[in-house]
A = this chain, B = another copy of it.
Protein backbone atom coordinates (compact mmCIF):
# COMPACT_ATOMS: atom_id res chain seq x y z
CA UNK A 1 0.00 0.00 0.00
CA UNK A 2 2.11 2.86 -1.23
CA UNK A 3 -0.69 5.33 -1.76
CA UNK A 4 -2.40 7.49 0.78
CA UNK A 5 -6.14 7.69 0.47
CA UNK A 6 -6.53 11.42 0.61
CA UNK A 7 -8.79 13.40 -1.68
CA UNK A 8 -8.45 12.09 -5.21
CA UNK A 9 -8.06 14.62 -8.01
CA UNK A 10 -11.83 14.39 -8.52
CA UNK A 11 -11.88 13.12 -12.11
CA UNK A 12 -15.55 14.11 -12.15
CA UNK A 13 -18.11 12.27 -14.22
CA UNK A 14 -15.99 10.45 -16.74
CA UNK A 15 -16.87 7.14 -15.16
CA UNK A 16 -13.42 7.13 -13.61
CA UNK A 17 -14.78 8.96 -10.59
CA UNK A 18 -17.33 6.27 -9.92
CA UNK A 19 -14.73 3.61 -10.52
CA UNK A 20 -12.43 5.12 -7.93
CA UNK A 21 -15.00 5.60 -5.19
CA UNK A 22 -16.36 2.15 -5.89
CA UNK A 23 -12.91 0.65 -5.53
CA UNK A 24 -12.32 2.70 -2.43
CA UNK A 25 -15.23 1.10 -0.62
CA UNK A 26 -14.63 -2.34 -2.12
CA UNK A 27 -11.05 -2.28 -0.93
CA UNK A 28 -12.42 -1.60 2.51
CA UNK A 29 -15.19 -4.18 2.74
CA UNK A 30 -14.33 -6.44 -0.17
CA UNK A 31 -12.22 -8.58 2.12
CA UNK A 32 -13.36 -12.10 2.69
CA UNK A 33 -14.64 -11.49 6.22
CA UNK A 34 -15.36 -7.78 6.65
CA UNK A 35 -19.04 -7.99 5.81
CA UNK A 36 -19.75 -10.90 8.09
CA UNK A 37 -18.04 -9.15 11.00
CA UNK A 38 -19.78 -5.85 10.35
CA UNK A 39 -23.16 -7.55 10.27
CA UNK A 40 -22.52 -9.42 13.50
CA UNK A 41 -21.24 -6.32 15.24
CA UNK A 42 -24.24 -4.36 13.99
CA UNK A 43 -26.60 -6.66 15.84
CA UNK A 44 -24.93 -6.41 19.24
CA UNK A 45 -21.53 -5.96 20.91
CA UNK A 46 -19.47 -9.02 20.12
CA UNK A 47 -16.40 -10.56 21.68
CA UNK A 48 -13.38 -12.02 19.94
CA UNK A 49 -14.07 -15.66 20.64
CA UNK A 50 -17.70 -15.15 19.87
CA UNK A 51 -16.79 -13.99 16.37
CA UNK A 52 -14.37 -16.86 16.02
CA UNK A 53 -17.31 -19.20 16.46
CA UNK A 54 -19.96 -17.17 14.61
CA UNK A 55 -18.01 -16.24 11.50
CA UNK A 56 -17.54 -19.79 10.41
CA UNK A 57 -14.31 -20.65 8.65
CA UNK A 58 -12.30 -17.63 9.75
CA UNK A 59 -8.88 -18.17 11.21
CA UNK A 60 -7.70 -16.46 14.34
CA UNK A 61 -5.18 -14.49 12.39
CA UNK A 62 -7.63 -13.14 9.83
CA UNK A 63 -10.12 -12.30 12.54
CA UNK A 64 -7.54 -10.22 14.34
CA UNK A 65 -6.36 -8.55 11.12
CA UNK A 66 -9.85 -7.75 9.88
CA UNK A 67 -10.85 -6.35 13.25
CA UNK A 68 -7.76 -4.12 13.29
CA UNK A 69 -8.53 -2.74 9.83
CA UNK A 70 -12.21 -2.14 10.55
CA UNK A 71 -11.32 -0.41 13.77
CA UNK A 72 -8.72 1.67 11.99
CA UNK A 73 -11.28 2.87 9.46
CA UNK A 74 -13.67 3.83 12.21
CA UNK A 75 -16.18 1.10 11.37
CA UNK A 76 -15.76 -0.77 14.64
CA UNK A 77 -15.33 0.42 18.20
CA UNK A 78 -13.09 -1.64 20.45
CA UNK A 79 -13.93 -1.56 24.14
CA UNK A 80 -11.70 -3.19 26.73
CA UNK A 81 -13.20 -4.08 30.10
CA UNK A 82 -10.31 -4.26 32.56
CA UNK A 83 -11.45 -7.47 34.20
CA UNK A 84 -9.82 -10.81 34.57
CA UNK A 85 -10.09 -12.65 32.32
CA UNK A 86 -9.99 -9.72 29.88
CA UNK A 87 -13.19 -8.88 28.06
CA UNK A 88 -13.06 -7.00 24.76
CA UNK A 89 -16.15 -6.01 22.86
CA UNK A 90 -16.49 -4.81 19.31
CA UNK A 91 -19.40 -2.65 18.20
CA UNK A 92 -20.31 -1.38 14.76
CA UNK A 93 -20.26 2.40 14.50
CA UNK A 94 -23.08 4.39 12.94
CA UNK A 95 -21.06 4.62 9.74
CA UNK A 96 -20.76 0.86 9.56
CA UNK A 97 -24.49 0.42 10.06
CA UNK A 98 -25.14 2.84 7.22
CA UNK A 99 -22.75 0.82 5.14
CA UNK A 100 -24.77 -2.26 5.88
CA UNK A 101 -27.89 -0.47 4.69
CA UNK A 102 -26.11 0.32 1.45
CA UNK A 103 -25.06 -3.29 1.08
CA UNK A 104 -28.68 -4.37 1.22
CA UNK A 105 -29.07 -2.88 -2.26
CA UNK A 106 -26.36 -5.17 -3.48
CA UNK A 107 -27.80 -8.28 -1.88
CA UNK A 108 -31.08 -7.35 -3.47
CA UNK A 109 -29.40 -7.38 -6.85
CA UNK A 110 -27.82 -10.73 -6.09
CA UNK A 111 -31.15 -12.26 -5.11
CA UNK A 112 -32.94 -10.90 -8.17
CA UNK A 113 -30.38 -12.18 -10.64
CA UNK A 114 -28.91 -15.17 -8.89
CA UNK A 115 -30.73 -17.63 -11.13
CA UNK A 116 -29.84 -15.75 -14.32
CA UNK A 117 -26.16 -15.62 -13.41
CA UNK A 118 -26.09 -19.29 -12.51
CA UNK A 119 -27.75 -20.16 -15.81
CA UNK A 120 -25.34 -17.99 -17.79
CA UNK A 121 -22.41 -19.60 -16.05
CA UNK A 122 -23.67 -23.10 -16.68
CA UNK A 123 -24.34 -22.36 -20.33
CA UNK A 124 -20.87 -20.86 -20.75
CA UNK A 125 -19.20 -23.81 -19.07
CA UNK A 126 -21.15 -26.28 -21.17
CA UNK A 127 -20.03 -24.54 -24.35
CA UNK A 128 -16.41 -24.60 -23.24
CA UNK A 129 -16.67 -28.22 -22.16
CA UNK A 130 -17.85 -29.21 -25.63
CA UNK A 131 -14.95 -27.42 -27.26
CA UNK A 132 -12.31 -29.04 -25.13
CA UNK A 133 -13.56 -32.66 -25.53
CB distance from A30 to the nearest CB of B (A): 4
A103 to B109, CA, bound (A): 10
Q: How many copies does the complex hold?
A: 2
Contact between B71 and A124, CB atoms less than 8 A apart: yes
Contact between B111 and A73, CB atoms less than 8 A apart: no
Interface size on A, residues (CB 8 A): 50
Contact between B105 and A105, CB atoms less than 8 A apart: yes
Q: Mark A54-80, 1 if CB is under 8 A from B, else 0.
A: 000000000000000001111100000
- Which parts of A1-28 form the interface with B (CB within 8 Å)? 5-7, 15, 18-19, 21-26, 28
Contact between B74 and A116, CB atoms less than 8 A apart: yes
